[in-house]
């Protein structure tokens, strides 16, 4: 049996309607890749809706390209912790974050699979639909670092902040070298940007490959994203600002590997073997 090359790493805490809209289409698309691509889903169960998601997934026909795990460890949603859980359990050598409201992009899969192994390992993929501006920034006087600015397309103001930012991929080895997503960040806001910036800083020769997703994510508000966090009434913009300060501190001090003294991710179990 072919081992996966690409792992789409997906997480959820509640949000059953979104999963019902995206998951069947995503796993159906992957059947064409003969085991080269897997979708790993971690269901973080905290209440009755999590149980409903579990029962619904078990009611679906089991697919070889869907790896389903369950975790009871998160009392409240924390994006970095959740994403680390899915990424560390992935089988593939190339990991792509997939938010539960996103659809997998076939063009991205085909392009990434066409790359030679060495080239793929040196590539960061993004499905961002806006514009990406590349620029150089001096660092510690003698060195220069590549910086990328993600902005809306002036000709398409509806694109760029449409759920595509979190659609990012990198090699498993690089993810491990970085220590994964920074679990000291706030529960929401900026964790994907932090990962990208640290990755580019630690490997300046990386190629940033932009393949804008063709199917937009399901619409969500920032307040909806905060519902399952410890403080649902928090200000997402303030969380994002706090994350940005932590990121800038990591880059300035060259502390690009995070989570050194903490366990990465949460405990999981095989969802297909769990009866609730």
Q: Is 69 left (phi over 0), alpha (psi -120 to 50) or beta?
A: beta
Element (H, E) at 178: helix 172-178
Q: Is 103 helix (H, G, I), strand (E, B) or coil?
A: coil
Q: Does 41 reside within a domain?
A: yes
Q: Does 100 reside within a domain?
A: yes
Element (H, E) at 134: strand 131-139
Q: Does 35 reside within a domain?
A: yes
Kind of pairing between the strands at 269-270 and 66-71: antiparallel
Q: Name the DSSP letter for residue 259.
A: -
CA atoms of 2 and 37, how far apart (whole Å): 9
At residue 141, the pLDDT reads 44
CA atoms of 42 and 270, how far apart (whole Å): 9
Identify which of 93, 39, 47, 21 has the alpha carbon closest to the alpha carbon of residue 276.
47
Range of the domain at 59: 6-273
Q: 122-165: per-residue pLDDT in tens?
A: 999 999 887 777 665 544 544 445 566 777 665 655 544 566 77
Q: Does 177 reside within a domain?
A: yes
CA atoms of 94 and 113, how far apart (whole Å): 10
User: How far is the CA of 216 from the CAs of 30, 99, 160, 198, 213, in angstroms?
Assistant: 18, 12, 10, 26, 7
Q: Does 268 reside within a domain?
A: yes
At residue 152, the pLDDT reads 66
- Which CATH number covers residue 236? 3.90.550.10
For the chain, which residues score pLDDT lower than 70? 1, 134-148, 152-163
The model carries a pTM of 0.92
Q: Name the DSSP letter for residue 140.
A: T
Q: Does 1 reside within a domain?
A: no
Measured in whole angstroms, the distance separating CA 118 from the mean position of its chain's CA atoms is 22
Using CA of residue 65, residue 161, residue 218, residue 213, what is the dihedral sign? negative
At residue 129, the pLDDT reads 81
Q: State the total domains in the chain.
A: 1
Name residues whose C-beta falls within 8 Å of residue 8's C-beta, 6 or more positions apart in sequence: 26, 37, 38, 39, 40, 96, 98, 104
At residue 143, the pLDDT reads 43
Percentage of residues of the chain with pLDDT beyond 70: 89
At residue 131, the pLDDT reads 76
Do the beta carbons of residue 151 and residue 161 sit within 8 Å?
no
Element (H, E) at 114: helix 106-114
């Amino acid at each position: 049996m072919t081992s996966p090359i690409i792992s789409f790493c997906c997480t959820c805490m509640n949000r059953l309607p979104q999963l019902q809209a995206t998951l069947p289409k995503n796993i159906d698309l992957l059947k064409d890749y003969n085991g080269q691509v897997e979708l790993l889903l971690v269901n973080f169960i905290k209440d009755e809706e999590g149980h409903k998601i579990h029962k619904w997934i078990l009611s679906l026909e089991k697919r070889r390209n869907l790896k389903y795990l369950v975790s009871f460890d998160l009392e409240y949603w924390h994006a970095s912790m959740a994403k680390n859980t899915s990424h560390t359990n992935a089988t593939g050598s190339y990991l792509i974050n997939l938010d539960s409201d996103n659809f997998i992009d076939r063009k991205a899969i085909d392009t990434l699979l066409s790359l030679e192994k060495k080239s793929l390992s040196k590539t960061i993929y993004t499905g961002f639909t806006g514009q990406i501006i590349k620029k150089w920034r001096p660092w510690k006087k003698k060195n220069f670092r590549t910086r990328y600015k993600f902005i809306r397309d002036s000709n398409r103001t509806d694109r760029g902040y449409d759920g595509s930012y979190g659609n990012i991929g990198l090699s498993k080895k690089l993810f491990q070298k970085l220590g994964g997503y920074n679990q000291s960040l706030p529960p929401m806001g900026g964790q994907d940007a932090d990962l990208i910036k640290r990755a580019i800083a630690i490997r300046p020769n990386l190629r940033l490959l932009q393949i804008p997703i063709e199917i937009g994510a399901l619409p969500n508000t920032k307040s909806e994203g905060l519902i399952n966090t410890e403080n649902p009434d928090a200000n997402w913009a303030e969380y994002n600002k706090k994350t940005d300060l932590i990121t800038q501190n990591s880059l300035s001090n060259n502390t690009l590997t995070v989570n050194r003294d903490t366990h990465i991710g949460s405990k999981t179990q095989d969802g297909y073997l769990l009866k609730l």
